[in-house]
Amino acid sequence: MRVATYLGADVGSTSTKVSAFDADGSTLASGSVEYETSRPEPGFAEQDARQWWAALQAAVEAVSDQVSLASVGAMGVVSQVDTHTLLDEHLDPLMPALLWQDVRAAPQAHALNQRLGTAGLVETWGGPDPVDASSPVPRAIWLAEHRAQLWTRGRWLVLPKDYVNAQLTGVVASDPLSSFKVVGTDGDYLPAAIALAPGLGERLAPLRRPEDVVGELKQGLASVPAGIPVATATMDAFGNLIGSGLDSPGDAMVILGTSAIVGMVGIGGTTGPGVVDFSPYRGRQVHAGPTQSGGDAVRWWCQLTGRDPAEVFAAAKTAEPGSGGVVFAPHLLGERAPLWDSAVRGWFIGLDAATGFPEACRAVLEGVAFSVRELLDAVEVAGGTPARRIVLSGGGSRNDAWCQILADILGRPVQRSRNVDTAVLGAATLAASCLTDADPWIAGVGLAGTDASFDPEPSNERTYSVLYDAYRSSYDGLRTTHQRLQEMDFGGSV
């Protein structure tokens, strides 16, 4: 019987996933517990942080039912990023957490961008990219303006994995990679950015390396023994990078989860607009960005049409590549990388009397792939090198047809990770590194693997080239319209 050595967890946008791994990185058992996102007002997206903690405990229990965890030596937890929860001094949530999709602070972000201008943004953040609604700076300003009493009572403004780690160990800490929107290239907080939101600095967690021990497990968790070290860990995207086996310049990943995430190891010392340039970590320079909707666009389409995902994917397979000229943009709650536009919303163009359900279904899948291509283009510019290898993971990667659509629209081969949840493997790798101080990148290469490859179909190149141009140009054409619509009150329907 194999022995569980490491435990990895990912506090995601729709569920918390936990897996037990042996010393060779083989998955022994997994558990997953879902939770809801509340959208009480237009632009709001909230979760109850206590559900993350309850889900983690339940998922560990599910794993414990399958394999003994008595020999687990360390644990790591990664999580969704740009989601913030306000805690009191007892580490209890004071209000629902603001999800990464939440754009309520868009007016505060817009005001900051207008006040600072390009020169001020460069001086404060080191680059010209505008502040967006998911940054902790405009969110802290919003909290101070609209939840003043709670903001006054609040002791910590933390990310999901930092909240869970605090419940596990009683210690509050974060890492520079997860806190990138308020951290500079030196790996420390940016004083000028923090000062823009009064009271923010004193509510941010101390920073540690992802592989550092945040603390020891306070009490047993299922059959996991108390006292084992818990890694500080990092955001899900970096967990995915490590769990995808990336290591060298040009190694890239695409995560088809609730959002679509693209990341790549660059050559170092380069940058480009629209994506995040992370501080070098263990000698690797990473450039990455998250979209606002990936698989979530499929969830929305299923909800809208009353169909389940299996029906949508089956219908999409019956439509021709290009969806009969229909183009879908998945910006349903604004867009993050590479547009950073809180006002934009989704659209279909090219609909005609011949458009049917299959064409619309395929257009949704292709639209997400167009957004991935747009982001990969920006990541390659920032990284200073073309992507030489693309590893695909996430729930959407389990559908072969969507993998092929991505390969066709990207115009290059993609390899599918054998691990659906590469972030969980990355979390376990960081748990191992907190014991040994081994380089997590090297460890990840040894643990990761692929189970399929998808080559682009040359006959689809012209079709997707034309539709991709339409996708890009339609954003430019509708930009002013979306800004005007944001100023209107449609009761949540835009």
CA-to-CA distance for 238 and 244, rounded, in angstroms?
10
Q: Tell me what the mean pLDDT of segment 85-102 comes to.
A: 97
pLDDT surpassing 50 at residue 494: no
- The pair phi, psi for residue 10, each rounded to 5°, is -130, 115
Cβ atoms of 8 and 18 within 8 Å: the answer is yes
pLDDT in tens, 372-423: 999 999 999 999 999 999 999 999 999 999 999 999 999 999 999 988 889 9
pLDDT in tens, 214-244: 999 999 899 999 999 999 999 998 999 999 9
Name all domains of the chain by residue range, CATH numbers in brackets. Answer: 6-234 (3.30.420.40), 245-488 (3.30.420.40)
Which of 289, 286, 304, 275 is closest to 246 using CA atoms?
286
Task: Name the pTM for this structure.
Answer: 0.84
- What pLDDT does residue 279 have? 82
pLDDT in tens, 419-433: 888 999 999 999 999
- Which carries the bigger pLDDT value, residue 420 or residue 75? 75
Q: Tell me what the mean pLDDT of segment 434-459 comes to.
A: 92
Mean of the per-residue pLDDT values for the chain?
95
Cβ atoms of 286 and 248 within 8 Å: the answer is no
Q: Which pLDDT band, with edges at 50, 70 and 90, does 437 fall under?
A: confident
Q: Which pLDDT band, with edges at 50, 70 and 90, does 69 fall under?
A: very high
- What pLDDT does residue 127 have? 85
| 129-133 long-range contacts, CB within 8 A, separation 24+ | 129/273, 129/274, 129/340, 130/340, 132/106, 132/336, 132/340, 132/342, 133/102, 133/103, 133/104, 133/105, 133/106, 133/108, 133/109, 133/334, 133/342
Cβ atoms of 24 and 432 within 8 Å: the answer is no
Q: Hey, what are 70's tokens?
A: 């008595």
Cα 348-349-355 angle, rounded to 5 deg:
85
Q: Tell me what the mean pLDDT of segment 269-289 comes to.
A: 92
pLDDT in tens, 462-493: 999 999 999 999 999 999 999 999 888 665 54
pLDDT in tens, 122-179: 999 988 889 999 999 999 999 999 999 999 999 999 999 999 999 999 999 999 999 9
Q: What share of the chain is helix, strand, coil (3-state, %, to 5)?
A: 40, 20, 40
Q: Tell me what the mean pLDDT of segment 435-462 comes to.
A: 92
pLDDT surpassing 80 at residue 102: yes
Q: Hey, what are 338's tokens?
A: 């590479």
CA-to-CA distance for 493 and 340, rounded, in angstroms?
21
Overall size of the chain counted in residues? 494
- What pLDDT does residue 491 have? 54
- What pLDDT does residue 185 have? 85
- The pair phi, psi for residue 226, each rounded to 5°, is -65, 155
Q: Hey, what are 227's tokens?
A: 């006292």
Cα 80-96-160 angle, rounded to 5 deg:
25
pLDDT surpassing 70 at residue 1: no
Q: Which pLDDT band, with edges at 50, 70 and 90, does 342 fall under?
A: confident
- The pair phi, psi for residue 183, each rounded to 5°, is -125, 140
CA-to-CA distance for 41 and 106, rounded, in angstroms?
14
Q: Which helix (H) or strand (E) holds 424?
A: helix 422-436
